[in-house]
Amino acid sequence: MDVTIYHNPRCSKSRQTLQLLESQDIQPIIIEYLKQPPTHQQLDSILRGLDMQPRDLMRRGEDAYAELQLDDDTLSRDQLIEAMIAQPKLIQRPIVVAGDGIVIGRPPEAVLEILP
């Protein structure tokens, strides 16, 4: 089974999650999402797998959240997803996908729930 981590190497939780995966003898596919943001389809699939709405996956404390007025209730799901793609620092991290399982690695041990 392929395991993918949407990773930010500057984030301690993301580094801890990657280290935890590697300690389980898993060599995940590492996507540095700040350099290579997910596509609309990928992000929509992640949100559905997490059973979340776009704002649930957003880092609301980021300046971009306020600057882009993403708290506007008239914004559609697609508009919010596009905002995360345009400003990937808005995306909570790390996200780990293993088969049909998807979790946010906060805390890092949460990934153990979806590993074989």
Instruction: Indicate which residues carry an active-site annotation.
Output: 11
Tokens at 30, concatenated: 């590492």
Provide the angle, in degrees to the nearest 10, between the axes of the packed helices 40-50 and 77-86.
120
Euclidean distance between CA atoms 8 and 40, whole angstroms: 19
Euclidean distance between CA atoms 66 and 60, whole angstroms: 8
In this structure, the strands spanning 29-32 and 95-98 are unpaired
3-state secondary structure of 4: strand
